[in-house]
């Protein structure tokens, strides 16, 4: 596979369970690991996995360059 991006797609989990899963997975990698975590949506479950990974990778790259300002005031 050309894209070696590490992607974890979760389906059917509560947000609390997703937090637990994300924390457990992150502990298995060093802090510089470039991981993508995603929760399925009504649209994403209809996509081909290859297309979904490409879409998630694009979103991930954009957010790395343009991080959201959660809770920050300008």
**Are 26 and 35 contacting, i.e. CB atoms less than 8 angstroms apart?**
yes
Residue 25 is inside which H or E element, if any?
Answer: helix 15-26
The confidence band for 74, taking pLDDT boundaries of 50, 70 and 90, is: low
Residue appearing with tokens 């979103």: 59
pLDDT at 67: 87
- For every residue of 1-14, DSSP letters joined together read -----EEEEE-S--
- What's the rounded Cα separation, in Å, for the pair 18 and 25? 10
**Are 25 and 35 contacting, i.e. CB atoms less than 8 angstroms apart?**
yes
- For the entire predicted model, the pTM comes to 0.79
pLDDT at 73: 59
Domain ranges of the chain: 6-65
Q: What is the mean pLDDT of the chain?
A: 89
Which pLDDT tens digit goes with each residue over 25-59?
Answer: 999 998 767 899 999 999 999 999 999 999 999 99
């Amino acid at each position: 596979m050309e894209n070696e991006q590490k992607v974890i797609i979760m389906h059917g989990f509560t947000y609390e369970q997703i937090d637990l899963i994300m924390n457990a997975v992150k502990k298995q990698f060093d802090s510089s690991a470039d991981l993508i975590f995603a929760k399925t949506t009504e649209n994403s479950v209809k996509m081909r996995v290859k297309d979904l990974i490409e879409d998630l990778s694009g979103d991930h790259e954009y957010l790395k360059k343009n991080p959201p300002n959660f809770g920050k005031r300008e």
